[in-house]
Amino acid sequence: DDIGETFGSLAPSWTKDGKEILFGASDEGNHHLFNIGIKSRKIKKITERDIQIFDYSYNRETDKIVFTYSHPTSPANISVMERSRGKMEFIINPNEQLLKRLRISKPEEFSFKGAKGDTVHGWILKPPNFKKNRKYPLVVEIHGGPHAQYANSFFHEFQILAGSGYIVFYSNPHGSQGYGEKFAKALVNNWGVPDNKDIMNAVDILSRKRYTDKKRMGVTGGSYGGFMTNWIIGHTDIFRAACTQRCVSNLISMTGTSDGGFMMPREFGGPWWKNLDHYWRMSPLKFVKKIKTPLLIIHSEGDMRTPIEQAEQLYIALKLQKRKVKFLRYPEESHGLSRIGRPDRRIHRLKKILEWFDSYLKTKK
């Protein structure tokens, strides 16, 4: 989730005539601009295509909007539109020459039945030189939030894995935004339940594809995606390797150490001291005895959102059980290492993820 994860936070703007408000919102795997009428309350989408808009600037004098956006095969583009016409006019792709020299894979949309029979939206990214008659290792990527979404955006990490010969699967399971309030609220006070069902249903489907080697599957994710990585390998051993990043392992301690700890009682129906057993039941650390999957733990020492004590507790618990685990710590870096970290450390992180999966998924162990 190096540039593609969005939380729908584009600031609203009044239109020139004062009759509408512009705003950005997640919309089924995209991030678009919308108008809402002040009197009519009608909402209209004004951008198009499968894209993720990062930011925009609205000029009230000209009634024009300039915005930056990404799509699955290009990390950054700039376009302009006259709001009244609603037609995007492309200006520039700053990476055009670079992209011509690279092999970029285009993801395929993949929808499937998840928890409660609900349809879940996902994508499959295949290697650029994909061959139908060959079997490939699979890496499952899980987004953070949990109330965020993967978008139709460019992901360096996914492209690197695909370019190295992996099938990459990523999705927006229950709890994700962009699919309605009920879908997003499915995780409230229920972490790791419906989304685990979603992800494992998809893995079951993908493991039966002709091109998937079901004996060589890995799972990874960051933040809440790290929580889910820990949760999954505490409930199944079908993955040969895992990588948990800036993870959550103990909801009780995180409530008191995270800069977002004040939100936990709202998410879980009250503070931990009133429902200690429930907080512990939803903590991946409770299931650490069942974790047998080789695990790479990546965490930043300056992470205030999911403090490094979350990784330390998990690491020590696994070491005491003599499990296969490696702990990679980055000094100075924040929760946003993969997105805004020092460039050399971002590169180092990607190399270590690839090395870890290669060591388990590209051998005959």
For the stretch 91-103, pLDDT in tens is 889 999 999 999 9
Task: Note whether 230 and 255 are same-domain residues.
Answer: yes
CA 114, 115, 117, 118 torsion-angle sign:
negative
Q: How far apart are CA 201 and CA 272, in angstroms?
A: 31
Tokens of 241: 């390797």
Q: Are residues 83 and 150 in the same domain?
A: no
Last residue of a domain, one of 98, 116, 137: 98
Residue-wise pLDDT for 126-166, tens only, equals 999 999 999 999 999 999 999 999 999 999 999 999 999 99
Residue 22 or residue 84, greater confidence: 22
Q: What is the pLDDT of residue 91?
A: 87
Residues 6 or more apart whose CB falls under 8 angstroms from that of 210 comprise 132, 135
On whether both 91 and 211 belong to a single domain, the answer is no
- 265 contact partners, CB below 8 Å, separation of at least 6: 255, 271, 272
Confidence grade of residue 4 (pLDDT, cut at 50, 70, 90)? very low
Last residue of a domain, one of 98, 118, 152: 98
**Exposure string over 303-321, b if 16+ CB within 10 A, otherwise e:** bebbbbbbbebbbebbeee
- The answer on 166 and 310 residing in a single domain is yes
With 70 as the cut, is the pLDDT of residue 364 above it?
A: no
- Active-site annotation, residues: 223, 335
Q: Which residue range is the domain that position 348 belongs to? A: 103-361
Task: Report pLDDT for 90.
Answer: 85
What is the C-alpha to C-alpha distance for residues 248 and 231, in angstroms, rounded to an integer? 10
In whole angstroms, what is the distance from residue 107 CA to residue 319 CA? Answer: 38
Q: CA–CA separation, 67 vs 55, rounded Å? A: 6
Are residue 50 and residue 155 in the same domain, yes or no?
Answer: no
Cα radius of gyration rounded to whole Å, the chain? 21
**Do 341 and 243 share a structural domain?**
yes
Mean pLDDT, residues 186-203: 96
Q: How many structural domains comprise the chain?
A: 2
Averaged pLDDT, 44-55: 89
pLDDT of residue 307: 97
- Residue 293's pLDDT is 98
Range with lowest mean pLDDT among 77-86, 147-156, 202-211: 77-86
For residue 236, the domain's CATH number is 3.40.50.1820
* Of the candidate ranges 59-63, 125-129, 313-317, the one whose mean pLDDT is the lowest: 59-63
155 and 56 assigned to the same domain: no
The predicted structure's pLDDT at residue 9: 62
Q: Tell me the average pLDDT across 61-74.
A: 92
Say yes or no to pLDDT of 8 above 80: no
Residue position matching structure tokens 């703007």 = 13
- Residue 82: its pLDDT value, please? 87
| Average of per-residue pLDDT across 53-59 | 91
